[in-house]
Chains A and B, each alone.
Chain A
Amino acid sequence: MFNPKDVVDLLALNVRKSRNPFGVPNSQLNTWWREAAAFTRRPGEALLFTGLMYQAVPYLEAATRYLERLEDSDFADYLRFGRLSRYLPGLLVGRGFSLLTSRAEKRKFNGVLHSICRLLAKSGVGFFYHPDLDFYSGILLYELGDQDGFVEHARFVARTLKLHGVRQVITVDPHTTYALKELYPKYAGEAFEVHPYFTRLRLPPRRANGHEPVAIHDPCFYGRYLKLSHSPREVLRSLNLEYMEVRNCGEFTSCCGGPVESVSPALNREILGRRAAEFKACGAPVVTTCPICLANLLKAGLPVEDLASLVVRYC
């Protein structure tokens, strides 16, 4: 396990420097929209707010690959020197990360956002996207206990959105949804109307011939904190896509281990191993609605895809 203080300090520094946990410019992290055609910048009823989570996964995975080798070694303590990265220009850090992340990985996770766009457009949802209004929510700072850092960042994001007249947002992942829906009103003093994208889908019914049943992995935030497990199931039912439940699902879903990855990749592996065993026993391909869970379950060697990637093929 890394010293949590080093991890918290490094992440807080990066968020202050670049408004995301990696210390790279948002413009480098957030490129998916350049290849997405299904949205307009304005007008639109609701802002599509990705929270940069899907875009961040390839970077997160690259960082974790190295952290895994360092954990519990004599070099683990060197993480405290990560704070020296404040002297590196964001573009240089970004260039370094670019070399560590594959184009295929970025395409895979950006592809989920493209699918979400297509599904929203097909459902007749009036939404718009603007990369300059899309920010990391700060949720990791909150979860790691850096309350001051989180509140400062959340206020910056909330203020920027309010300044541009944003009242309604459509979110794509559970962590950002929880931050905007529950934490921003409490700590940033601003409330938005927050809709996870799958609650807005109204897709024409289709019979999915030859589709094998999928097993659903509910992320903790959707399952317990936001009580939204029923919603992805409704989407699957509306398209006649069969699904099956594992024992720990819905409000009693099991964590995949992802939240602890930044301080202990080894503990993440342990928790992930247990969750993966449940799905391996069930034998069906897995579907989830969280980029962190998606990346983690993929790491366990499971056949897993995002809900949007699955649904877009059947409508």
Chain B
Amino acid sequence: MALVNPEFAAELKAYGLDTSLECFHCGSCAAICPLIHDHFPRKMIRYVQVGARDQIMQQAQDLWRCLHCGLCTHTCPRQADPGELILGLRRYVVASWRRAPGV
């Protein structure tokens, strides 16, 4: 069972993620993403919105599959900037790894 934390999105602002709540899950980003992989990046944005930190950490490796090509951001109808959100999540995960180097 995943624990949710509605405050998580606010916590992530320190890592440059301040548009995650703009997303309304139309799926444009996942449709245009060259990875064609498991609802990426929409799925990660959903995790941020509901505060599913554990899910993000468990699937962290997927964040580094992102090409940072910017197609998702370019086509997002809500200016939620999915590309920047993925980049922000990488920052968050790297910072978490460094706080707990044994993980």
User: Taking beta carbons and an 8 Å cutoff, which residues of A are in contact with B?
Assistant: 1, 3-5, 7-8, 143-148, 220, 224-225, 251-252, 254-255, 257, 259-260, 263-264, 267, 271, 274
Contacts and interface: CB of A to CB of B under 8 A. Distances in A.
Given A1-B61, A251-B74, A274-B34, A259 B67 contact: yes
Interface residues of B, number: 24
A257 B67 contact: yes
A264 B64 CA distance: 9
Contact of A252 (B60, B64, B67, B74): B74
Contacts of B34: 254-255, 271, 274
6 contacts: A1-B65, A143-B68, A144-B90, A145-B90, A147-B15, A255-B67
Interface class of chain A by DSSP: helix
B64 A263 contact: yes
B82 to A, nearest CB: 13
| A-B residue pairs, 8 tightest by C-beta | A145-B90, A255-B69, A4-B64, A224-B70, A220-B69, A145-B94, A255-B67, A147-B91
Interface string B31-74: 00011000000000000000000000000110111111111011
**Residue in A4, A146, A252, A274 whose Cβ sees the most chain B Cβ within 10 Å:** A4
A224 B84 CA distance: 13
B10 interface: no
Contacts of B91: 145, 147
B12 interface: no
A218 B90 CA distance: 26
A153 to B, nearest CB: 15
A260 B65 contact: yes
A271 B67 contact: yes
A267 B97 CA distance: 24
A314 B14 CA distance: 51
A224 B74 contact: yes
Contacts of B87: 143, 145
A3 B62 CA distance: 10
B33 to A, nearest CB: 10
Given A1-B61, A4-B60, A147 B94 contact: yes
A274 B67 CA distance: 14
B90 A252 contact: no
A212 B57 CA distance: 51
B93 interface: yes
Contacts of A8: 94
A148 B15 CA distance: 11
A274 B73 CA distance: 21
A152 B97 CA distance: 19
B69 A144 contact: no
Contacts of A146: 94
Contacts of A224: 69-71, 73-74
A263 B68 CA distance: 13
Contacts of B35: 267, 271
A259 B69 contact: yes
Nearest to B74: A224
A62 B81 CA distance: 35
Contacts of A143: 68, 87
Contacts of A254: 34, 69
Contacts of A220: 67-71
B65 A264 contact: yes
**Residue in B68, B73, B74, B97 whose Cβ sees the most chain A Cβ within 10 Å:** B68
A252 B65 contact: no
A267 B91 CA distance: 22
Contacts of B95: 147-148
